[in-house]
Structure 1
Amino acid sequence: MDTLETRELRYFVAVAEELHFGRAAGRLGIAQPPLSRAIQRLERRLGVRLLERDRRGVALTAAGETLLSEGRAALAATTAAARRTRRAGGAEGPGASRDRLVLAVKAAASHELLHKLLDTYAAEPGAADVEVLPSGTCEQGEMLRDGRADVALMHAPFNSLTGFDSEELTSEGQIAILPAAHPLAARTALTLADVADVPGLPLARWSGSAPGAGPLIHDQTQLAQLIALGRTAAVFPDSARAWLWAEHAAVPLTDAPPVVTHLAWPAHSRSLALARLVRTATRL
């Protein structure tokens, strides 16, 4: 049997992530016995053992690890298909446009480019409505995969472009954004080491990023306030100068790699509205 049902994948992924049938059943809103039977039927149909069960708990086999990875991707693809279908049919709320694109952008980056792109595209005949959806540092790829976004501005080397089609738009240096009153703000240039471990001024962390000493940031306004108060610093592409406050200072980082901005979209997309947006972006 080479076909899998979405329900089976959802059940298995819940068990594989929780490694506990009781918790997985609670997460799914079903009783534990039918969940256990569903997993056993799935193993019989596939002809492989997916889970090792003993008194110590539940563990994934090699086959289970593979199905967890593939199952997550398949469930994300079905969710994305449903979201994009509803969007194409104008079913995402009263008054929704039947011709709409959702563009995911990293908060606080590429302001000038984004303004030019949106203004130029909007002036073209038949342009679709574009909803701009701000995201955290590395969330754009996930938003493309699960259908929350149709297209994204992504920044190498911070974002992975694997699995997406893309067009390179711009390349720029990086800056340290510091409280204007901090001694480092008076420097004409800095290195990454200079700002990596400054006493009393830890680098900010975006929601979903790796653990660190700096405050966890959820949006651009929060970041701007904390920098102005002298509680944190941040590293951004040079284009982030567009949103700086008077209480901020931007200092070039001489050894930071260039940031390359790409317009990226799912490789399987056949949207004519997206194709027109890509043509506009490449002309810019």
Structure 2
Amino acid sequence: MSLGDDNGYGNDSGRTDDAYSTIGGTRQTRTRLPDGEGGDGYNTPRRPARASRSLITMAGVVVLLIAAIAFANMGGGDGNGNDGDGSGKGGSKPEAASTAATGTKPVTGKNGTIPSGFAHDEQGAQSAASNYAVALGSAGMFSTDTRRSIVQTTHDPAVVESLVAALTKAYSPSFLKNVGLNEDGTTPSGLTFVSRTIPVGTKVTEKTGDTATVEVWCTGLVGMAGPGSTKPVSATWFTISEKLKWVGDDWRIESSSQKEGPTPVNGDNRASTADEIAGAVEGYGGFTYAR
């Protein structure tokens, strides 16, 4: 998103007309879908096409960030893949058990629907980054009211207004229509809009007293499910790098960036019908992620 270098955002980002270049308004969740018309699109899955960097950051967001981000390209994240030991000087490779849970209980607080009250340490930073990736990759990013609330809850207050203004322009009526939604962001009758970011793992690449850079490896879902859908729900893999800052009594995103992969080989699972996907999205809730 072109918010200018003074704000720490890259100048080469730009949302394209491709409806699925992001999920949830964040490059955290960049997802590309087939452009074919007719049918529910689930019997002929194709590899998503690549796109230029989009305007909005997870993430996503994501969405998918998810989408997706939700989460756009908010420059300033480390994004160079350096391993860290929490000191910012680099460290040894993660141990085989690095993806095991810490044993720390999930946070109990919530700011609206988004978890809050994360610990002021590496574990808390990883938990915050994961939960923020989910929020920024959610379908709520496509609605004006909920989008502002999500951004305010997840970001440093110093960047909120400029980010909200950029997102308002990006989520134009024509863009919303292109993704299959109505021009006001509502979902057409009989269909279910899907935009979800699912964290797979986290890694701290840099940590000082009140700042941390956390990479979140994610998979994301985006598309329209239901009878006659021409925008089938598709999955993608990406890694979000969130630069976090301790603000007040919680972690907040100062800036973030996204890159493709790592992407596993697709399995031999049968692609579900649009109705099955819609039923799953409506029937299965999300999680509070704790590292």
Query: What TM-score does the superposition give when structure 1 sets the normalisation length?
Result: 0.21
User: Which of the pair has more CA radius of gyration?
Assistant: 1
